[in-house]
């Protein structure tokens, strides 16, 4: 049963998401798991036809080796930073897990909940920026929405101020 665990981490490469990734790696991910990095890009005009094909279903699963390649990452419109890639490569090696990325386009609140069901995820770890009341009211809290609407266990990792 352990080999079937799919641990999701919502990732926009911000400091709070990296904190959530580190927490997931240290506290949740076990040998043999699949770690699925869920990334949501804003909707927009995409020149490449591939992205238009995946707009409703999300991208295919992208193996770590591929999204570590700057050319391939650019093709998908993501910019993984060196620190995130280092965390992912280290855990993949140490715990012998499969690391995959799946990219969605649209509203992060809706697409993360969609990812939980369509991948499907065993659990999800998400960072929380800790916006103040007014900013949260205007922008809406992605983590709060996912906690209330996600269909798997969701852990929110509080962001740290830098």
Tens of pLDDT along 111-149? 999 999 999 999 999 998 765 555 555 545 899 899 999
CB 36, CB 9: distance < 8 Å:
yes
Q: Which residue has the higher pLDDT, 132 or 66?
A: 66
Q: In terms of residue numbers, what domain contains 143?
A: 122-162
Per-residue pLDDT of 68-116, as tens digits, reads 999 888 888 888 999 999 999 999 999 999 999 999 999 999 999 999 9
Number of domains in the chain: 2
Residue 40 predicted with pLDDT over 60: yes
Assess if residue 45 is contained within a domain. Answer: yes
Do 132 and 86 have their domain in common?
Answer: no
CB 39, CB 12: distance < 8 Å:
yes
Q: Which residue has the higher pLDDT, 12 or 45?
A: 12
- For residue 128, the number of C-alpha atoms closer than 13 Å in the C-beta half-sphere is 17
Do 128 and 85 have their domain in common?
Answer: no
């Amino acid at each position: 049963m352990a080999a079937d665990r799919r641990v999701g981490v919502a990732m926009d490469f911000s400091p709070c998401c990296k904190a959530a990734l580190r927490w997931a790696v240290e506290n949740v991910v076990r040998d043999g798991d699949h770690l699925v990095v869920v990334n949501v890009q804003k909707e927009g005009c995409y020149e490449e036809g591939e992205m238009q094909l995946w707009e409703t279903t999300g991208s295919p699963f992208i193996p770590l080796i591929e999204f570590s390649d700057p050319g391939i990452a650019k093709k998908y419109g993501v910019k993984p930073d060196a620190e995130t890639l280092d965390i992912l490569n280290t855990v993949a090696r140490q715990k012998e897990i499969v690391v995959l990325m799946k990219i969605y386009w649209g509203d992060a609140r809706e697409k993360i909940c969609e990812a939980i069901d369509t991948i499907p995820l065993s659990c999800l770890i998400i960072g929380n920026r800790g916006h103040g009341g007014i900013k949260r009211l205007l922008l809406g809290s992605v983590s709060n929405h996912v906690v209330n609407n996600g269909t798997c266990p969701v852990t929110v990792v509080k962001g740290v101020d830098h």
